[in-house]
Structure formats: structure tokens, C-alpha cells
Chains A and B, each alone.
Chain A
Amino acid sequence: MIGAMVALTVIKLLAASGLPVFVIILVALAAAAAVCMAVGYTIERIAYRPLRRAPKLAPLITAIGVSIILQNLAMLIWGRNYHAFPPILPTSQHEIFGATITSLQVAIVLIAALMMTGLIILIHRTRLGRAMRATSENPPIAQLMGVNINQIISFTFIIGSALAAVAGLMVSANYSIAHYYMGFMLGLKAFTAAVLGGIGNIAGAVLGGILLGLIESLGAGYIGDLTGGFLGSHYQDIFAFFVLICVLIFRPSGLVGEKVSERA
């Protein structure tokens, strides 16, 4: 949400400048990423680091609190209205297998694939990524290996925030709209997608996201027929949570999440 709002503000400011669209988007993206990284770092510093030794429920509640604060701050800054995304992007439509897809959507899929690949390489192929995994698996032992876990956790928040900024911009560009509350449902659905794929598995999360999107779209399209007209397509959100509940009950490790027995 913050990423989308910052990007939108920058785009509006620059829209009349006559700069090429591509440059405007890049500047907006850079600004959005920079703001989100700063916000992510700050949140970790003041809201999570003090809870490092607290029970697991504490950071969860804090997360909810932080999100409420951020939403209200955003409302103060940008107001409660929906902001239309300026129509600066070229929108050509293509037909693939009978489905209509815009060039924007193609770009979104490509960018998502690029981010996924980059993240997988970072986490699984680099020294920094190993330190991140070690810190998430066992913080004290990671420290014994010489990992400065505070540094690693800060860095993880910064990367995550930058990715969220890109995602926020893509969502608002796709739906041509942004507002202070857009992140709430998105966050829940992103979480559902990650659970569906298997927490901790990056490609799984992307797969979960695609599946969830399909389930939602198809479900929303047919829900009227399925319920004899009792429920309309505006009930599409129930599918995400139906999926979440089913995964948690029947396959808590997710679709591709492997179970690793932790022998003592």
C-alpha cells in the first residue's frame, strides 16, 4: 500500500513533466522501494527487535498493530479516497488461448518471475542467504557461527519491503487504483498463497499465488451458478479463506513444502 501510494504520488507529480513513461515508472519504483525499505527497517527496529526474546504470539499481535498504524498514517497523508492510477501506461491487448491479456499483465508476470528467481538465488546460493536461513532456523546457533543476527534480520526486512513496494505498484497499476486500505486484503491473500505453497518455499509461494488467483477468478465467475444465484461474484474473497482453512486442516506443510523431521 505504501509502495503504491508513494509511486502514485511520484507518477502524478511527473506525469506532466514530459519525461518518457519508462523513466517515470522507474523513478516512481525507486522512490516507492526506498520509502518502503526505510519504513521496513524502522518497523523492525522499534516494533520487532525489542520482542526478540518474547513468546511467538507477541510479534504477531505487534504485526497487526503496526499495520493499523500504517493504514491510519496513510489515511492522514493521502486521504480516504480511492486514487486513480494515471493512464500513462500503454495498454495493448492480446489474445492467448481465448483469454484476453494486456501487455501490462504480461509485464507483471515477467517481473514477478524475475523477482522470484532473484530471491531464490539470494536465499539458496549466497553466503548472505545462508545466514538468513540459519538465522530463521536457529538464531542462537547462527550467532555462534559468527552471524550478526540483528543485521541479518534488518536486511531481511529491507529486502521484503522493497519486494512489497514493487508488488504494490504492480497491483495498483493492474487495477488502476490505489487507496490506504488496499494492503489489508492483499496481505491476507499473500499469506494464504504462501501457506498454500508451503511456508519457506519461494517457488511454492508463487505457485500458491497463481493457484489462488485461478481459484478466485473461476470461483467468482461460477459462484452464482453454484449457489443458484444466492451468492454473487462480490463474494470472491471467501475462496481465499476457504482455501486457507482447507490447507491448514488437510496439508499444513503446503503443496510443495517438505516436512523435515527435526531429530534432537
Chain B
Amino acid sequence: MLEVTGLRVAYGGIQAVRGITFHVEQGEMVALIGANGAGKTSTLKALSRLLNAAGGSVRYCGKEISALEPHQLVSEGIALVPEGRGVFPRMNILENLLMGAYSRQDKAGIAADSAHVFSLFPRLEERAQQLAGTLSGGEQQMLAIGRALMSRPKLLLLDEPSMGLAPLMVQKIFEVIRAVAEEGMTVLLVEQNAKLALEVSQRGYVMESGEITLTDESSKLLANPRVREAYLGE
């Protein structure tokens, strides 16, 4: 479904992503793990066209998307939950969700999907009129995921959904991610929390200093001594 070949990202003269190649198949959840500054966020930003790649190709459903405008990706079926959530702080929860459905016109479908999001995150329904800027970090993460689902994406890109959250909240968020994936969503999950990411995903890539250094089935990566030492703290 997603085929990335030789993707490079540079900030000025500094190469943050040095020609990485990976793919995500339809219905799969793939984890991309790596330490701080490995280039994970840069990769997702290039995929979602918020950054211009310095080279390489990105094919999505057989179509080259590396020259599209960022606002064109939603209608292709790609949604990003950005690092740091990126909710609209001065809009309430409902308005944030409606922004997620901006590319759609079907009123009935939008209403059904916001009901679905509320069933995934009942916390959001209780607070539907609250300004997003006043939500807790966990609630904002729920909102960011819910908002991304509102566009009915085929491919969901998640950038560190566990960042800054208490263990219980992380668990809750990951339950939902797992549920969404089980409904058939294709997911590319970027995480620092390698253990968590490898437990929910089928395959994983390990990224170090802008390069992919290791890839395997997630269960095998979990057992890999190199991974255990570097990312699982053993």
C-alpha cells in the first residue's frame, strides 16, 4: 500500500533521513522505532508532505505522491496524527473532529463517524464543548486520533502517541489503536516506546541516525538481543 524508496530529508546541509526504504502492506500495522533524533518524525513529515523530501520516491496505492500538496493527501486516504498532537486549542472537541472531516461532504456519514469516535473515547463525548487547549495531554491525544479517524483514512500515520502520557493512559490509547487496526486499518506507528510498539505491530523497522538498520517481524525484533539491549533497556 505504501512503498518508500530511498527517501532522504535534509535540513539545510544536515541530513536527517539518509535514503530509507520500507513498505507497509494493506491491513498491516508496522512499527518504526528509534532513539531521539533518529529521523522518525522527519520521515512522517516527508510522507505527509509537510516537508519536501530531498530525494527518493513515495508510492501510495501504486501512485507517486511525493509531489502532491499536503492538503491533497486526505482525500487520497492518508491521515497523520502528528507528534505533540496538534489539536486546535481554541476550538472545542466537536469542532476539532469536524475539522478532521473537512474533506468530506456527507453529513450523515460525518455524524456517524463522530458517534463512533465518541464510542471509542467516551471521555471526549462528555467534554464535547470544551476547548481543546484546556484538555489534558491524554485527552488531546485521544482527540488527535479521533480527528484523524474522522477523515475515514485508509492509511493512518501515528507519531509517538504515547509521548508524555501516564502508563494507564498509554494503555488506553494503545487499546484503541489496536482496535482500529483490527477493524482493518493500515497503520504506520512511530514510537520511542519500542516494547509497546513491537507488541502491537506485525512488523518493525529500527531507525538509527537517519538510516534503517534492522527490520523483521515484530516478535523477532522483540527477541533480538541488539534491540533488547538498545531499546528495551536490558
From 58 to 117 in chain B, residues with beta carbon under 8 angstroms from any chain A beta carbon are 69-75, 79-80, 82, 84-86, 88-91, 95, 98-100, 102-103
Residue B151 CB within 8 A of the other chain: yes
Residue A263 CB within 8 A of the other chain: yes
Whether B90 pairs with A260 at a CB distance below 8 angstroms is: yes
Residue A159 CB within 8 A of the other chain: no
Docked Cα-Cα span, A46 to B133, in Å, equals: 34
Residue A133 CB within 8 A of the other chain: yes
Residue B134 CB within 8 A of the other chain: yes
Assuming the A-B contacts A146-B71, A146-B74, A146-B151, are A133 and B88 also in contact, with contact meaning beta carbons closer than 8 angstroms in the complex?
yes
Query: How many positions in chain B have a CB within 8 Å of any CB in the partner chain?
Result: 35
Whether A134 pairs with B89 at a CB distance below 8 angstroms is: no
Residue A95 CB within 8 A of the other chain: no
The chain B residue with its CB closest to the CB of A133 is: B91
Assuming the A-B contacts A262-B133, A263-B135, are A144 and B80 also in contact, with contact meaning beta carbons closer than 8 angstroms in the complex?
yes
The chain B residue with its CB closest to the CB of A141 is: B86
Contacts of B72 in A (CB 8 A): 146
Q: How far is the CB of B47 from chain A (nearest CB, A)?
A: 11
Docked Cα-Cα span, A137 to B75, in Å, equals: 22
Whether B84 pairs with A141 at a CB distance below 8 angstroms is: no
Docked Cα-Cα span, A260 to B50, in Å, equals: 26
Docked Cα-Cα span, A257 to B153, in Å, equals: 36
Assuming the A-B contacts A130-B95, A140-B50, A140-B70, are A145 and B100 also in contact, with contact meaning beta carbons closer than 8 angstroms in the complex?
yes
Residue B131 CB within 8 A of the other chain: yes
Contacts of A131 in B (CB 8 A): 99, 102
Residue A261 CB within 8 A of the other chain: yes
Whether A145 pairs with B102 at a CB distance below 8 angstroms is: yes
Query: How many positions in chain A have a CB within 8 Å of any CB in the partner chain?
Result: 23
Quick one: CB contact mask for A149-187 with B, threshold 8 Å, 1 for yes?
A: 100000000000000000000000000000000000000
Residue A23 CB within 8 A of the other chain: no
Residue B218 CB within 8 A of the other chain: no
Docked Cα-Cα span, A148 to B135, in Å, equals: 27
Contacts of B164 in A (CB 8 A): 264
Contacts of B88 in A (CB 8 A): 133-134, 137-138, 141
Assuming the A-B contacts A134-B91, A260-B134, A262-B89, are A145 and B103 also in contact, with contact meaning beta carbons closer than 8 angstroms in the complex?
yes
Whether B133 pairs with A130 at a CB distance below 8 angstroms is: no
Whether B90 pairs with A137 at a CB distance below 8 angstroms is: yes
Docked Cα-Cα span, A144 to B72, in Å, equals: 8
Q: How far is the CB of B60 from chain A (nearest CB, A)?
A: 15
Whether B69 pairs with A141 at a CB distance below 8 angstroms is: no
Whether A133 pairs with B135 at a CB distance below 8 angstroms is: no
Whether A147 pairs with B102 at a CB distance below 8 angstroms is: yes
Docked Cα-Cα span, A261 to B131, in Å, equals: 10
Name the contact of A145 in the complex, choosing from B84, B133, B136, B151 (C-beta under 8 A): B151
From 131 to 152 in chain B, residues with beta carbon under 8 angstroms from any chain A beta carbon are 131, 133-137, 140, 147, 151
Residue B192 CB within 8 A of the other chain: no
Contacts of A62 in B (CB 8 A): none
Q: How far is the CB of A138 from chain B (nearest CB, A)?
A: 6
Docked Cα-Cα span, A264 to B91, in Å, equals: 15
Whether A144 pairs with B79 at a CB distance below 8 angstroms is: yes
Whether B103 pairs with A146 at a CB distance below 8 angstroms is: yes
Residue B201 CB within 8 A of the other chain: no
Residue B41 CB within 8 A of the other chain: no
Contacts of A263 in B (CB 8 A): 89, 133-137, 140
Docked Cα-Cα span, A223 to B91, in Å, equals: 43
Name the contact of A143 in the complex, choosing from B70, B85, B95, B131 (C-beta under 8 A): B70
Q: How far is the CB of A202 from chain B (nearest CB, A)?
A: 13
Whether A260 pairs with B89 at a CB distance below 8 angstroms is: yes
Residue A127 CB within 8 A of the other chain: yes
> Which residues in A have some Cβ–Cβ distance to B below 8 Å?
127, 130-131, 133-134, 137-138, 140-149, 200, 260-264
22 contacts between A and B (CB under 8 A): A130-B91, A137-B88, A137-B89, A137-B90, A137-B91, A138-B88, A141-B88, A144-B82, A145-B74, A145-B151, A146-B71, A146-B74, A146-B102, A147-B102, A200-B90, A260-B134, A261-B133, A262-B89, A262-B133, A263-B89, A263-B135, A264-B85
Instruction: Other than A263-B89, A263-B137, give 7 A-B pairs with Cβ distance below 8 A.
Output: A133-B95, A134-B88, A147-B99, A263-B133, A263-B136, A263-B140, A264-B137
- 5 closest A-B pairs by beta carbon, nearest first, are A146-B103, A146-B74, A143-B70, A260-B133, A141-B86
